[in-house]
Structure 1
Amino acid sequence: MEHNDISVGLDIGTTKIVAMIGRRNEYGKIEILGIGKAKSLGVHRGVVNNITQTIQSIQMAVDEAIAVSGIKITDAVVGIAGQHIRSLQHSDYITRANSEQVIDDDDLDMLEKQVHKLVMLPGEEIIHVLPQEFKVDGQGEITEPVGMYGGRLEANFHVVVGQVSSIRNIGRCIKSAGLNLAEITLEPLASAEAVLSAEEKEAGVALIDIGGGTTDLAIFKNGIIRHTAVIPFGGNVITEDIKEGCSIIEKQAELLKTRFGSAWPGENKDNEIVSIPGLRGRDPKEITLKNLSKIINARVVEIIEQVFLEIKNYGYEESKKKLIAGIVITGGGAQLKHLKQLVEYITGMDSRIGYPNENLAGDSDESLSSPQYATAVGLLMNGLKQLDKENAKLAEQPKLEEEVIEQNEPEIEKVEEEEKEEEPKPPKKTLFEKWGEKFKEFLDNAE
């Protein structure tokens, strides 16, 4: 059974893999039909380092989502992150053959394809080419050139680049798990789709997505993506520090962080103590929450300072690049207590925690509005956008057929008149029938 209104978002993270199946309801909100989660084995800092384990984790998440929704899925929109991701600014132009015709989507595609021909470093591949501003015959600051007249079309682009091997490894894992890779999207862009409002993107905002293995940054200004970066630290490094600092196992360190952890040491009193069971008959360990917070604070400060350095590199202090909406923090790491206050203290910018619930239908499970699902919701939204475009093209197809028939009508009539004049001959194919066959052949090939 074909579902042309249903999409799948697959978030391959360092800590967990999430498969999310959903569609838009009549109010334009996202209705989650099924969700599957699996512990992410074989992914380190956003990069696949064990193919077999990653395939198994993806299959577990997808099977769970299928079991919950009862819908068989074939395609998925997948997120990509990792320390191999980098971005650059690039300007390019095309000279149009006929300046008397208005600029259309084909011209924009041609310009974008030209950017894809950029020579990259060995082993690198372009993931996204995101137009920022256009110029038509030297007239600048144009955001939508379609429908305008002009001979020279140029644009500034934000180009996101990643390692070919990492992208191929993800593609192989998806295929081996029995899915088709519908689209690959940079994870901070997907998270931004889920948690940022159009007003924030217009005013200027920095999105910080703190995952298990990486911390992703996406900066928007005037509604356009301006800067992206992936920092190779995340929540797992904090857990590792707690494990080493308190001499406990990883599972206990993760529980300590999520239940009692705080990014602000001043919040805990010296006499607040948590007792942790010892291993195999050993005495339990007692850890003060103040010490725990100090360990967490040291690492979180390092992560935020790295992100803030990227925001400074973007040039947020310039009046034209000011980030009026401040910072939005999302991802699993955003659930750490007092993180918002620490971010404001270090950066001096307003901040809030980003939840994806604004885009979800009202009857959605409350747990889905957690910041840790922001990327999965964003990927699902991207997939639904692609479907909308495809469905719009399919809707235009009958109109195109009618136009072609109308254009061929005089020739068809002429052929019919000639046939009347001639003596009866064995049935001969009309021009219309020939054209119909050719058109059918074209459609079959297109499929």
Structure 2
Amino acid sequence: MEQTKYSVGLDIGTTKIVAIIGKQNEYGKIEILGIGKSKSLGVHRGVVNNITQTIKSIQQAVEEAEANSGLKIGSVVVGIAGQHIRSLQHSDYITRKDSEEVIGEEDVDLLCNQVHKLIMLPGEEIIHVLPQEYKVDGQAEIREPVGMYGGRLEANFHVVVGQVVSIKNVGRCIKSAGLDLGNITLEPLASSDAVLSQEEKEAGVALIDIGGGTTDLAIFKDGIIRHTAVIPFGGGVITEDIKEGCSIIEKQAELLKTRFGSAWPGENRDNEIVSIPGLRGREPKEISLKNLSKIIHARVVEIIEQVYVEIKNYGHEEQKKKLIAGIVLTGGGSQLKHLKQLVEYITGMDTRIGYPNEHLAGDSDEEVASPLYATAVGLLMNAIKNQEKLKLTQEEILEEQEQEEELMYAENDTKVVARPDIHKERKSVFDKWSEKLKEFLDNAE
């Protein structure tokens, strides 16, 4: 199989690293060709803090995916998260020279590029510039300004910002693992592609992705991303609390959480007890399930309340900004028993668990359709989308060149017809940013 036929998403998480290879079938669904996962050892709360360990973990996941699929991984799309991520709202405008000419893609690009020049805090860099709504000569609420007439083009933007060092470290790990960095995407955006429907995005929805080290939030309304946030707590702190509260080792705490844990303390009776083997011949430990769920409940409430503060900051309580579709929970942490009910109780919003199976081909492995792989599937979808764009652009270039040749060698025409400019590949602002990042990483060596 050629490299162009398949794509790769790489999710560098706090607890696991997942490499997922896939392609789009003739029905537009994603066919998983191979998956590899390894324990993530060099990442803390979504940020790389041990380059050597992370490179090893990436190589392990990639080798497993290659062995499963029989394919070679070259370029990957990587997700970025971590407590250093923040977002802001920004408005900007450009004045066009000729208002009698229609607005083109290059005008929109110029406006987006202008936002990329915003001066950030020292050590910060813009990751995404996401246009929300445009205004043309004061006419508001325009989704697509291309093709309209106007002298002044302005827009509201959702700008996602991250630490340069963290982004550089991710790039360094990818390069050192022998891979090419195809693109960097904000993880909550990737997860939202995998688990949310267009109807939900239109109605208004908050996606909460509970990972091992962080809880990511993405809010959509009218089909547009409105707010993003990364909360530096996830399933890892719940395990840590169980470990401390029950005086047991981490491995046992994680098993207790996944097998017997519940976010609702009233669920367990006082006499329900689990016996845990003691270390090196010591007496077994008896742990009450009621106490266990109390420990879990306290931490989960804290995480949900922090997320709810972000939802309120967006303005959910205003009638115009109401999130009609409520909340969608995904990520490994969303599998905790009775979490859905607790979220509904705290926020008063409709809640469902998000599975990435909607976009997967029918014969996909059940394991991949778990919320655990939502981000990895979203990154794979992003990689496939990028490849489609590239393919279309190349086809357009070839088409234009053929038309030119026909014009230049027209029958019975001895004169050479004036040659129009060959259609150049129009790169998106984000592709340009990716190129700059790659250049920056090359020079950093």
Q: Normalised by the size of structure 1, how large is the TM-score?
A: 0.91
The aligned residue for residue 200 of structure 1 is 200
Provide runs of 4+ in structure 1 moved above 6 Å. none
Structure 2 counterpart SS, 1:178 = coil
Query: Which structure 2 residues correspond to residues 317-332 of structure 1 after superposition, within 5 A?
Result: 317-332=317-332
Query: Which structure 2 residues correspond to residues 150-165 of structure 1 after superposition, within 5 A?
Result: 150-165=150-165
- Paired AA for residue 282 in structure 1: R
- Paired AA for residue 219 in structure 1: I
CA deviations 1:253-292 (Å, max 9, x no partner) are 0000000000000000111000000000100000010000
What is the distance in 2 between the residues matched to 1:70 and 1:105? 41
> Structure 1: any 5+ residue segments left out of the alignment?
416-430, 443-447
Measure how far apart 1:96 and its partner are.
2.3
- Paired AA for residue 79 in structure 1: G
Say whether residues 1:78 and 2:104 are aligned partners: no
CA deviations 1:98-141 (Å, max 9, x no partner) are 33332222221111111100000000000000000011121110
The aligned residue for residue 238 of structure 1 is 238
The aligned residue for residue 221 of structure 1 is 221
The aligned residue for residue 123 of structure 2 is 123
- Paired AA for residue 196 in structure 2: L
What is the distance in 1 between the residues matched to 2:180 and 2:147? 35
The aligned residue for residue 27 of structure 1 is 27
Query: Which structure 2 residues correspond to residues 245-264 of structure 1 after superposition, within 5 A?
Result: 245-264=245-264
Say whether residues 1:375 and 2:372 are aligned partners: no
Query: Which structure 2 residues correspond to residues 407-426 of structure 1 after superposition, within 5 A?
Result: 407-409=407-409, 413-414=413-414
- Paired AA for residue 302 in structure 2: E
Structure 1 counterpart SS, 2:280 = coil
What is the distance in 2 between the residues matched to 1:412 and 1:124? 61
What is the distance in 1 between the residues matched to 2:81 and 2:344? 25
Structure 2 counterpart SS, 1:4 = helix
What is the distance in 1 between the residues matched to 2:403 and 2:388? 23
Measure how far apart 1:412 and its partner are.
11
Say whether residues 1:340 and 2:354 are aligned partners: no
What is the distance in 1 between the residues matched to 2:390 and 2:103? 21
Measure how far apart 1:404 and its partner are.
2.8
Task: Tell me if structure 2 keeps the 8 A contact 1:5–1:384.
Answer: no
The aligned residue for residue 88 of structure 2 is 88
The aligned residue for residue 144 of structure 1 is 144
- Paired AA for residue 256 in structure 2: L
Measure how far apart 1:331 and its partner are.
0.3
What is the distance in 2 between the residues matched to 1:5 and 1:93? 40
What is the distance in 2 between the residues matched to 1:65 and 1:406? 46
Task: Tell me if structure 2 keeps the 8 A contact 1:269–1:290.
Answer: yes
Query: Which structure 2 residues correspond to residues 34-53 of structure 1 after superposition, within 5 A?
Result: 34-53=34-53
What is the distance in 1 between the residues matched to 2:412 and 2:390? 32
What is the distance in 2 between the residues matched to 1:54 and 1:215? 21
CA deviations 1:379-435 (Å, max 9, x no partner) are 0001111111111111111221133334544799546xxxxxxxxxxxxxxx89xx9
The aligned residue for residue 108 of structure 1 is 108
Distance 1:412 1:70, change over 3 A: farther
Structure 1 counterpart SS, 2:52 = helix
What is the distance in 2 between the residues matched to 1:387 and 1:153? 30
Query: Which structure 2 residues correspond to residues 170-189 of structure 1 after superposition, within 5 A?
Result: 170-189=170-189
Structure 1 counterpart SS, 2:3 = coil
CA deviations 1:195-243 (Å, max 9, x no partner) are 0000000000000000000000000000000000000000000000000
Query: Which structure 2 residues correspond to residues 264-413 of structure 1 after superposition, within 5 A?
Result: 264-409=264-409, 413=413
Measure how far apart 1:93 and its partner are.
1.2
The aligned residue for residue 435 of structure 2 is none
Say whether residues 1:68 and 2:68 are aligned partners: yes
- Paired AA for residue 330 in structure 2: T
What is the distance in 2 between the residues matched to 1:61 and 1:18? 6
User: What is the root-mean-square deviation in Å for CA atoms of aligned residues?
Assistant: 1.8
The aligned residue for residue 56 of structure 1 is 56
Structure 2 counterpart SS, 1:149 = coil
Structure 2 counterpart SS, 1:133 = strand
Measure how far apart 1:94 and its partner are.
1.5
Distance 1:203 1:148, change over 3 A: same
101-110 or 313-322: which moved more? 101-110
What is the distance in 1 between the residues matched to 2:346 and 2:239? 22
Measure how far apart 1:2 and its partner are.
3.3
Distance 1:409 1:137, change over 3 A: farther
Structure 2 counterpart SS, 1:320 = helix
Structure 1 counterpart SS, 2:22 = strand
Question: Alignment identity in percent?
Answer: 78
CA deviations 1:356-379 (Å, max 9, x no partner) are 011111000011111010000000
What is the distance in 1 between the residues matched to 2:350 and 2:292? 26
Task: Tell me if structure 2 keeps the 8 A contact 1:208–1:215.
Answer: yes
Matched length: 421
Structure 2 counterpart SS, 1:37 = strand
The aligned residue for residue 97 of structure 2 is 97
> Structure 2: any 5+ residue segments left out of the alignment?
426-445
Task: Tell me if structure 2 keeps the 8 A contact 1:190–1:378.
Answer: yes
Query: Which structure 2 residues correspond to residues 8-23 of structure 1 after superposition, within 5 A?
Result: 8-23=8-23
- Paired AA for residue 174 in structure 1: I
Structure 1 counterpart SS, 2:118 = coil
Measure how far apart 1:341 and its partner are.
0.4
What is the distance in 2 between the residues matched to 1:96 and 1:41? 52
What is the distance in 1 between the residues matched to 2:109 and 2:404? 24
What is the distance in 1 between the residues matched to 2:385 and 2:392? 11
